[in-house]
Amino acid sequence: MATSTLHACLLAARPKTLPAAVVPVWVACVLAWKLTGTCHLWLAACTLGAAIAIQIATNFFNDVIDSRKGADTARRLGPTRATASGLLSARVVLAWALGFLVLAVALGSVLYQARGWPVLVIGAPSLFLAYGYTGGPFPLAYRGLGEVFVVLFFGLVAVAGSVFIQTGCWPAAAWLLGLQTGLLSAVLISINNLRDRAEDATTGKRTLAVRFGHRAARAIIALELALAAAAGGAWFVLGQRPLAAAAIPIVVLGWRIVYGVWTQPPGPAYNRMLALGGVLLLVFGAVLHGAALLG
């Protein structure tokens, strides 16, 4: 593969978004180990591989569909998009998307052998929404449902499902952790949508930022972070007090994100806020992991 083509594929894959796929599986495996004392590494590897494959397929589909709908224009403030810029043809990007979905199905078959039909209930909607997030008759991202989708599928489903893969159970702690993780992932979508509000308003992409304006979009980011931090108090109720420490980076780094989006107008500076949101997600996972070990 030519260097330029590889670079374009990496652009379309959007590697900076991958923490949203990695962290839910990571923290779920940590929680499963904390609850049961064991972690099935082969199942963890297959779960992680499937999650990353679905995330990358979603990004490839998004690259093509946004280009076809005219949502990626010259006014774009974020990273270059491979299809819209002409670096890759739509046909090539779609082929990559389908290839990663096939990889996800192959890895999912291993999980199905281990845990049975619940894997299909988790996996089938995830596979469909890799396309349905921006495509199909009811594209979620174009209807202002991006944040809801992320909380559900990159939070609750991803974490609780990964804990189920490890343990065969659906403990309350998995849903709590899924809620925190999903809210932190939704922050990334909310910052992205606030940054792109002006462009999205001209292309029919009715995100929450477009529907309700700058002030409401900023308040949504603050609310997501506040809820993620406050949910940490529930670890005391569930008898896992050390895991409440994972709320500390949410408060510290979350304050910096809120300050940034409230004091700066939407623009390229929001790319730094997005990067900080990705760092927050990773630090959240690291602190939770450390607290589980020390606790």
Question: Is residue 81 domain-resident?
Answer: yes
281, 61, 46, 239: which is closest to 154 by C-alpha?
A: 281
The answer on pLDDT for 194 being more than 70 is yes
On whether the CB atoms of residues 221 and 187 are closer than 8 A, the answer is: yes
What is d(CA 48, CA 245) in angstroms, rounded to the nearest whole number? 24
Please check the confidence at residue 69 and state whether its pLDDT lies above 80.
Answer: no
Q: How many domains does the chain have?
A: 1
Average pLDDT rounded to a whole number, residues 221-237:
97
265 vs 69, higher pLDDT? 265
Residues 109-120 have a mean pLDDT of 96
Q: What is the pLDDT of residue 231?
A: 97
AA identity, residue 55: Q
Closest CA to 13 of 80, 110, 108: 80
Residue 120 lies in a domain: yes
Task: List the CATH number of the domain containing 57.
Answer: 1.10.600
Q: Is residue 3, in this structure, part of any structural domain at all?
A: no
Residue 2 lies in a domain: no
The answer to whether the beta carbons of residues 164 and 170 sit under 8 Å apart is yes
* CA distance readout (Å), 10 to 18, 104, 173: 12, 18, 35
For residue 131, the model assigns a pLDDT of: 92
Neighbours of 137 (CB within 10 A): 5
Name the band, by pLDDT with cuts 50, 70 and 90, for residue 120.
very high
Expressed as residue numbers, the domain containing 95 is: 8-294
Task: Tell me the average pLDDT of the chain.
Answer: 91
Query: What number is the average pLDDT over the span 10-22?
Result: 87
260 versus 69: the higher-pLDDT residue is: 260
Q: How many CB atoms lie within 10 A of CB 112?
A: 15
Q: Tens digit of pLDDT for each residue in 196-219?
A: 898 888 888 899 999 999 999 999
| C-alpha radius of gyration, the chain, whole number | 19
> Measured between alpha carbons, how far is residue 185 from residues 117, 152, 208, 228, 276 in Å?
27, 10, 16, 10, 12
The answer as to whether 15 is a domain residue is: yes
Q: Is the model more confident about 177 or about 89?
A: 177
User: For residue 173, which amino acid is it?
Assistant: A
How far are the Cα atoms of 27, 57, 189 from residue 15, in angstroms, in the given order?
A: 19, 12, 15
Question: 77 pLDDT band (50/70/90 cuts)?
Answer: low
Is 116 domain-assigned?
Answer: yes
pLDDT value of residue 56: 95
